[in-house]
A = this chain, B = another copy of it.
Amino acid sequence: MGCHMAVRGPRKDSPRLTARGAATRERIVATAADLMFRQGVTATTLDQVVDACGISKSQLYHYFPDKDALITEVIAMRERRMVSSQKPQLDQVRSMRDLERWRDSLVTGHRERDVPYRCPIGSLANELSCYDDARQSLAAIFSRWQGLLADGLVRMRESGELDPGADPAELAVAVIAALQGGYLLAETMQDEQPFLVALDMALDHVKAHVRTPVANLTQPDT
């Protein structure tokens, strides 16, 4: 009883693929990622992936020996997507205002694209936490996400906006926790309010570490 899946790290010895082969492989991973996002990992069968891709089962097995290998690649794709969507924005964070822009873009992203409030990383983490290899890969994704955010907070501390005593790494953990909890409640309630409330709490938490501006006594009265 328990967790039997052996999710491996990414294969280092992937066979060389033609451009067309690489595209098919990528399409299989993207399709599986989408199905697993919408209905869960365990609930997603290889037959469903094959049907949704319009390929044969033997084609699938040409690229992936089994479901575990496919899950490993889905996780790797989720990391690439998180980085490509989050890094450009978080790399811009130099002030509280930038952090608010990041919050706003998360919210408008859901509103505009009408995608459900559900985190692709968080939902995999919840379902795969008992599979140690997958769990570690997902922990690494959370760490990377927190790291991108913490780098922005470090810049805010260096510029003097954040208190020298503020701990960027710890603040980043708190913000990502609020984000994840906000996703889960919003998803379950089918209401964006818990997501907004959680993110506002997180940003207020960072704001509590903003340095109180010291009145500039030498400023001329103009």
Contact = CB atoms under 8 A, between A and B. Distances in A.
B127 A40 contact: yes
Interface in A163-211: 170, 173-174, 176-182, 184-185, 187-190, 193-194, 197-198, 200-202, 204-205, 208
Interface stretch (A6-14, A100-108, A134-142): A134-142
User: How many copies make up the complex?
Assistant: 2
A123 B181 CA distance: 11
Interface in A92-150: 116, 118, 122-123, 125-127, 129-130, 135, 138-139, 142-143
Contacts of A51: 1
A142 B188 contact: yes
A127 B130 contact: no
A83 interface: no
Nearest to A182: B177
